[in-house]
Amino acid sequence: MINTRTAIVTGAARGIGAAVAQRLAADGLAVAVLDLDETACSDTVDKVRAQGVNAIAVGADVSDEAQVAAAVDRVRSELGAPVVLVNNAGILRDNLLFKMSVADWAAVMQVHLQGAFLMSRAVQSDMVTAGYGRIVNMSSSAALGNRGQANYSAAKAGLQGFTKTLAIELGRFGITVNAIGPGFIRTDMTAATAARMGMDFADLIAAGEKAIPVGRVGEPEDVAHAASFLISEGAGFISGQVLYVSGGPQG
């Protein structure tokens, strides 16, 4: 297809990233489905291709400089220069402060913050050359503070500062940079949170349904819808913003 824009979605083997990849495909973008394990991306790649656009699976650790460079090179040669990037890859290493190890602090910073930095730096020249670009960073309502998540909360708040700075630096090249702050979204990550808390996932969801103003927890497609909007051409005057997708006003 001529003039198809190329997007990279990190952490797209499952969960929110997989939904974003499918939604961007439905919007007509070719999608590089990037995750730690290339084979784990095949389900998402099949669903993206089913929308009639081109897709490739890319195995890479977003926190590793050399792997990021190789991954972006592959995308350039196999799909075309990327002009859309969704920094979605993420991990949890939850613990109360007094039990949090340096390794768990560092791992979360590496994936969320260094990962978003390395990926954004690697694609910015493609976007500058194109005179057009869209970067969306997956923050979280946890940026506002969340018990047991000092590392994750700091990383997600850090991503918001990163977003605003890139918006200032890159705006003149036709590039917008925004963040999405999902609240409680039903994925493997929140299922793992329930397990850590010693709760059934169904009970955690029921508690969420009571607490969230719209009366339900979020689905990956809710986040994908917001990503689709921020990535759309018409959103070119929105930059440096954080859009909470949380079913209410509380981040």
**Residue 214 Cβ, how far from ligand NAI at the closest point, in Å?**
15
- For ligand NAI, the binding residue among 7, 8, 17, 82 (CB under 6 A) is 17
Give me the numbers of helices (H) and strands (E) for the chain, helices first please: 9, 7
DSSP state of 233: G
Kindly list the catalytic residues: 152
- For ligand NAI, the binding residue among 138, 166, 230, 243 (CB under 6 A) is 138
The reply on whether position 15 binds ligand NAI by CB under 6 A is yes
Instruction: Please give the residues from 54 up to 113 whose contact with ligand NAI meets the rule CB under 6 A.
Output: 61-63, 88-91, 111
Site track 173-212 with ligand NAI (rule: CB under 6 A), x = hit: ---------x-xx-xxxx----------------------
Give the nearer residue to ligand NAI in terms of CB position, either 1 or 59: 59
The reply on whether position 44 binds ligand NAI by CB under 6 A is no
Give the nearer residue to ligand NAI in terms of CB position, either 176 or 193: 193
Please, are residues 133 and 206 in contact by the beta-carbon 8 Å criterion? no
> Which residue, among 120, 110, 55, 58, has the nearest Cα to 87 in the 3D structure?
120
Instruction: Please give the residues from 150 up to 179 whose contact with ligand NAI meets the rule CB under 6 A.
Output: none
Instruction: Please give the residues from 210 up to 249 whose contact with ligand NAI meets the rule CB under 6 A.
Output: none
> Which residue, among 18, 31, 152, 142, has the nearest Cα to 85 in the 3D structure?
31
**Residue 146 Cβ, how far from ligand NAI at the closest point, in Å?**
10
Measured distance CA(43)–CA(12) in Å, rounded:
10
> Which residue, among 243, 235, 233, has the nearest Cα to 29 in the 3D structure?
233
Extract the tokens encoding 248.
């209410």
Give the nearer residue to ligand NAI in terms of CB position, either 128 or 189: 189
Q: Classify residue 64 by burial, with Cβ atoms within 10 Å: 0-12, 13-18, 19+.
A: middle
**Residue 163 Cβ, how far from ligand NAI at the closest point, in Å?**
13
- How big is the site for ligand NAI, counted in residues (CB under 6 A)? 27
* DSSP labels, 69-116: HHHHHHHHHHT--EEEEEE-------B-GGG--HHHHHHHIIIIIIHH
Q: Applying CB under 6 A, which residues contact ligand NAI?
A: 10-11, 13-17, 35-36, 61-63, 88-91, 111, 115, 138, 140, 182, 184-185, 187-190
